[in-house]
Structure 1
């Protein structure tokens, strides 16, 4: 089934009370769309990265009490999982849609990657558009706009990635819910594609 875009009810899933009810709505409305995005972008990302990229839709299987506040499809060069390696993500919080390149705390080569990023700070500073955002925690919705970040702040983030066990680095683009629901499928797919292409050099550095 072709991707049809996101609606208000997709975002409203995250205001449903209770784990079971929220998960049921998530499986029914949002997950099929993430699966479609997974199938759509895997060939593109495989071609761009030079690695076969596999889609991984979040299952939230370990949850026993707290319902998920966000959900996503991740793309990584491993059919078994994505958390241990650099990856791309498309997903939703109740407030916005996100498109990330991410290295999270489980990643194997985090320290080496932090070093490479720090060595390329100047390049990254000029390469990333001002309306893109950075985060150091994939479990929180907040992010800092690239045009608000100084060189020293970026370097501090890259240093933390090398030395702090729980440190993470995410760079990407957020689309507010109000705007995302007005974008038709074609426009949204083009936007995601363009974000991935801009983020590609960060993946290559990893």
Structure 2
């Protein structure tokens, strides 16, 4: 199946007012593309990680009033859910596409993983591509570019993961909306594959 890239119409879904209208447009425009990306990348990630990976398209089931400001497909080693596990995501906000490796607040081994990251701080700091970004909260679009990050600041993110209940850690890549819209489906897939390859060492640490 040929994968299509995201269009302006997809990004504009997040401008639609009202919960039901936005959810309807999201299901119609974006979810089928995320589903296709899920089918495409689950086998790739299974090979890269060495364990079976399952795709989960966001349903936004807990929401009833506030319309979602972003949406995604997540990949994890469990067919029933992903939030409690280290996982990967491909998704979009109104302004950009994101490709993440993520350990979010529901993850059970967060503190242990934080310790592992802290131990490997020097190599992570050195090996993370300069154009990658970090985040401590998956619900906000703001990120910290790796190239602007001091080693001590990265260490603080890793320490926070060990001590703060709501703490999260995400590392990955953003494609600005204009760039994403101009990409062919093939170019988009190649870029995502490249990013996933570079994120595998973090996943294996987790």
Structure 1 length as normaliser, TM-score? Answer: 0.99
Which residue in the other structure is 2:147 paired with?
147
SS for the counterpart of 1:181 is helix
CA distance in 2, matches of 1:108, 1:66: 27
CA distance in 2, matches of 1:20, 1:3: 27
CA distance in 2, matches of 1:45, 1:202: 13
Task: Count residues with an aligned counterpart.
Answer: 206
In the TM superposition, 1:80-95 aligns within 5 A as 80-95=80-95
* RMSD, aligned CA: 0.5
Q: Does 1:121 align with 2:121?
A: yes
| 1:4 Cα offset (Å) | 1.0
Deviation digits for residues 120-167 of structure 1 (CA, Å, limit 9, x no counterpart):
000001111111000000000010100101110111100000010000
CA distance in 2, matches of 1:156, 1:44: 32
Q: Does 1:162 align with 2:162?
A: yes
Deviation digits for residues 174-197 of structure 1 (CA, Å, limit 9, x no counterpart):
000011000000000000000000
Q: Which runs of 5+ in 1 are unaligned?
A: none
| 1:2 Cα offset (Å) | 2.7
CA distance in 2, matches of 1:62, 1:162: 27
Deviation digits for residues 32-72 of structure 1 (CA, Å, limit 9, x no counterpart):
00000000000000000011000000001111100000000
Which residue in the other structure is 1:68 paired with?
68
Structure 2 length as normaliser, TM-score? Answer: 0.99
Q: Which runs of 5+ in 2 are unaligned?
A: none
